[in-house]
Amino acid sequence: AFEDVCREFVREMQKKNELPFRYAKIGRWTGKTTVRDDSAASGLRIAETEINLLCVDRDAKKYLVGECKFKKHRSLIQNTLIR
């Protein structure tokens, strides 16, 4: 799927030393998070969250977090991943 393409793109960026740090692990994450919700009584609610691309350095102090979206223009995809 397109998420695999994004992961491979980030792997290639690491090989070229184009990332802000060297990651030790790459993958994805799904779980529950607390989000703000003005319609909830407490102003917060629990929601399912999906992170398409997650890179973590060896010390687990630096993270690269990304969402993979397909666009028609390649330059838009590159700019999104690089930021």
pLDDT tens-digit profile of 34-44?
A: 999 999 999 99
What is the model's pLDDT at position 80?
Answer: 52
Q: Which residues pair with 56 in a beta bridge?
A: 25, 63
Helix or strand or coil: residue 41? coil
- The whole-angstrom separation of Cα 30 and Cα 41 is 25
- The whole-angstrom separation of Cα 15 and Cα 11 is 6
Reported as a pLDDT band with limits 50, 70 and 90, residue 74 is low
In sequence order, the 6+-apart residues with CB closer than 8 A to the CB of 14 are 22, 23
Q: Where is 12: in which H helix or E strand?
A: helix 2-15
pLDDT per residue as tens digits for the range 6-30: 999 999 999 999 999 999 999 999 9
Mean pLDDT of the chain: 89
Reported as a pLDDT band with limits 50, 70 and 90, residue 78 is low
